Each structure stands twice: as structure tokens, then as C-alpha cells.
Amino acid sequence: MVNIIWVAMTIIGIIFAIVNGTISEVNEAIFKGASEAVTICIGLISVLVFWLGLMRIAQEAGLLEKLSKLFRPLVSRIFPEVPVQHPAMGYMLSNMIANMFGLGNAATPMGIKAMEQLKELNGGKTSASRSMITFLAINTASVTLIPTTVIAIRMTYNSENPTEIVGPTLVVTIISAIGAILIDRYFYYRRVKKGGVEK
């Protein structure tokens, strides 16, 4: 469905440009966009490879395992229906730690695996469980210690101080994560009160 939407938007845009006589501007924008995309990708690859390498070193040194143990009590309180030793807990912790370092590409596979495990815990139902909804909310508004991707983009465009966003990003993502959890809990307990779900 998404592919059909993109194709339709492209065709409509080209037809609109032909009718308005702006096809030359469209061609220029296409080539300029393609050139910028390559530049951004090269910049992102260098930074992501660096941080992924550090993550690998941290994993081999046992640092990620220690971080997981550190956050496990907090995460187990947020997800009380997920057993502490269940694979879903490990995948969720790995996803959150990767997101903390701004490694969205590395976090995505862990997030997908976590959702698969949470679905199994939910008995394979097609409707999302409480844990799945909470995890999605936290994953979307996750705390970010180092916004790696944004720093890479700022470096690509020659920012004078590409890392100046670290502090504001940390504050904003902490607020967004707390907000996401509070909103998630509000709607959950509202459903409980209405008798829509079991506690």
C-alpha cells in the first residue's frame, strides 16, 4: 500500500510539473536531492561505523551486559508482565541501550525481535498487549545520550559545533520518555477502569 502511495505521489507531482511548466525545476531538484543523499549517507556511514565498532567493543568487554543489569530492575517495573529472564527482556534492553547512543539502525533489529517475543507472550494474538504498547511508546521517545545520527548530519553540513545538541537532546528525550510512559499508563488504567482489560 505504501509503495502505491509513493508511486501515485510521484506521478501526480510530475504531471503537475508538466502542466505548470516547472519540469526543469523538478529535474534539478531530483539530481540535487540525489547528490545530497549520497553526501549524507557517506557522512552517516563513517559515524555509524565508528559507534557500532565501539558498541561491539563494549559488548565484548561485557559493558553492555553490565548496563543491561543496571537497567533491568527499572525496565522490569515498567514491564511487570514480562519475566525477567525472558528473551523479550534482553531484546528490549539491547534496543534501549542502542537508542541511548543514537544508533537507531542497530536498535531496529532488536526492537523487531523484542516485539516478536512480546507477541509470543501475548499468545500470538493480533491485538497489541500492554507490554507491546508500552515498548513502542518508550522506543519512539527513547532517552538519547549521544544523538549519533544528528551529529553526523550536522558534521556533513559543516556545523561549527556539531555536538552542541547533546545536552538539549538528553533533556528533551528524558522529558519525552517520561511523558510517553505517563500517557501510556494513563490510557492503560483508563481502559482498566472501564473494564476493557484485565490488570
Distance CA 182, CA 190 (A): 12
Q: Are 47 and 151 in contact, with CB atoms under 8 Å apart?
A: yes
Q: What is the pLDDT of residues 97-154, one digit of tens each?
A: 888 877 766 778 888 888 998 998 888 888 888 899 999 888 888 888 888 778 877 8
Domain-embedded: residue 92: yes
- Domain membership of residue 12 as a residue range: 2-194
pLDDT band at 199 (very low <50, low <70, confident <90, very high): very low
Domain-embedded: residue 116: yes
Domain-embedded: residue 62: yes
Domain-embedded: residue 107: yes
For the chain, the average pLDDT equals: 82
Q: Within 10 Å of residue 7's Cβ, how many Cβ atoms?
A: 10
Cell of 73: 530492575
Task: Give backbone dihedrals phi and psi of 68, rounded to 5 degrees, phi first.
Answer: -60, -45
Domain-embedded: residue 85: yes
Domain-embedded: residue 41: yes
| Total count of domains within the chain | 1
Q: What is the pLDDT of residues 4-34, one digit of tens each?
A: 898 888 888 888 888 888 888 878 888 888 8
Distance CA 57, CA 50 (A): 11
Domain-embedded: residue 137: yes
CA 114 to chain centre: 13
Residue 64, pLDDT > 70, answer no
Q: What is the pTM of this model?
A: 0.65
SS3 123: coil
Domain-embedded: residue 199: no
